[in-house]
Amino acid sequence: MTYQPHGKHLIAGEWIASKDQFTSQPVTGEGMSISSGGAREVDQAVQAAEAAFEIYGWTSREARAAFLEAIAEEIEARGADITRLGMAETGLPQARLEGERGRTTGQLRLFASHIRDGEYLDRRHDEALPDRQPLPRPDMKMVQRPIGPVAVFGASNFPLAFSTAGGDTASALAAGCPVVVKGHPAHPATGEIVAEAIRAAITRTGMPDGVFSLVQGVSHQLGHELVTHPLIRAVGFTGSLGAGRALFDLCAGRSEPIPFFGELGSINPVFLMPGALATRAEALGQGWAASLSMGVGQFCTNPGLVIAQRGTELESFVAAAKGALAGAGESVMLTEGIAEAYRRGADEIASAKGVQEVLGSSCERRNAAPLVYRVSAADWLANEALAEEVFGPLGLIVEAEDSAQIMALARSLRGQLTATLQMEDADIEVARPLVSVLERKAGRVLVNGFPTGVEVADAMVHGGPYPASTNFGATSVGSLAIRRFLRPVCYQNMPEALLPADLITG
């Protein structure tokens, strides 16, 4: 039977409506009325999460792994409906949504495997030394323990992998933390059906109802209520720098501050080394164009900045990129607000001193088309606004006079999610000092690829120094993401009967 959304919140296992409503804005089809939550719904969800934590925080790793796998299975069982609703709400194509669904279930299964292994617990034991002089040493055991209820904000650009059951939710649940999700208003029906899948998994595995809640809403006040609720212990967020910084400040300003793990965007510089330009400038231009325009540029790892030394090889790169993008045309963006911000950001870039248009177009309503500009390194270094992210398929090519100026550009960069080197073996000595700079600027440094593919794997880091993220020691993708929602606890001279099971069993 085809799933029919109802527009309610899921709180402690029950679908609950609110008096306040907002109307969704799908790309196709009619908008529907969606409950818009506030302080009351947040408190109900968080209180239920706190009650659930008294049980869920002490469940076995095997029980939590089975729960995560059940969520993946329930999502897959609803696959056709999830794709149908996601396409209507976001305009994303079927193949993209099906791939993202696979990534979402893959993340859940990755964390199930990760917690079964148990290495993340970082267990340590210093045995008692009662005869040590001048003072005896007590018995001490340490293990990583869950922190409590976690708030997660759904992302606009990933309705599955970074939203209701996305990486933040999966890693928090794996750690033993209940989750309250603020659904993104750009895709409320998609969020609802995924929440229904989680609800079914809760029932299947006998987990407490309050272990997961979804609160829908469009107001900034809803986010304020969630991050300032005294029982919330951490926040996971993927979104814009402005919204993320506002929430970060709220978390820091609480009477008891809590960690805010925000992924806030990046311009993801691509450095074209001389050897690479000399041997494959045209292929590099075409590859960059494909990465820049993928998904209408609505990826946080979109390679929006190219840095290279001026010359005939760079001109070949520019011509190839322009040719590859010229026929792209307009595509629909995730929301009207994102499309408007793209146009506004493009206007600011285009009007800046020294900026020249390579490829221009006009974009209307909810649509966007690729835009490419070029500027000298001197003008780029003189204007901090040129380093701001423009979310969408906009690229800026910065032309350096020599390798020293390329190093100056690298040192001037703010924190990034990624930095890319396109290079040949002959470029290694030139690239060596550049790598030492870029590893301090980005969470992931890659060679001879493009950053828009974020692999879900143990070694992946999706984060970076501010403003790419608010905690440079964390990642929101990969198994290390679980560490955000754990804290070390030392048990001194504790009877075995009172220890967490993870300190007794393997």
Catalytic annotation, residues: 263, 300
**Cβ contacts of 274 within 8 Å, gap of 6 or more:** 309, 313, 427, 430
- The answer to whether 65 touches 112, Cβ cutoff 8 Å, is yes
| Token representation of residue 453 | 């593919």
Residue 54 CB partners (closer than 8 Å, separation 6+)? none
Listed in sequence order, the residues at least 6 apart from 313 whose beta carbon sits closer than 8 Å to its beta carbon are 274, 277, 278, 281
Secondary structure element (H or E) that encloses residue 131, with its range? none
Contact status, residue 400 vs residue 309, Cβ threshold 8 Å: yes
Report which DSSP code applies to 460: -
Cis upstream peptide for 230 (omega within 30°): no
Question: Residue 260 forms beta bridges with which residues?
Answer: 235
Length of the chain: 506
Q: CA-CA distance, 160 to 184, in Å (whole number)?
A: 11
Residue 94, Cβ density class (10 Å: 0-12 exposed, 13-18 middle, ≥19 buried): exposed
Q: Cis peptide before 467, with omega less than 30 degrees from 0?
A: yes
Distance CA(366)–CA(452), nearest Å, equals 22
Q: What are phi and psi of 199, to 5 degrees?
A: -60, -45
Task: Compute the Cα dihedral for 266, 271, 277, 279 and give only its sign.
Answer: negative
**In terms of Cα–Cα distance, which of 384, 395, 393, 450 is closest to 417?**
450
Nearest to 263 by CA among 475, 106, 452: 475
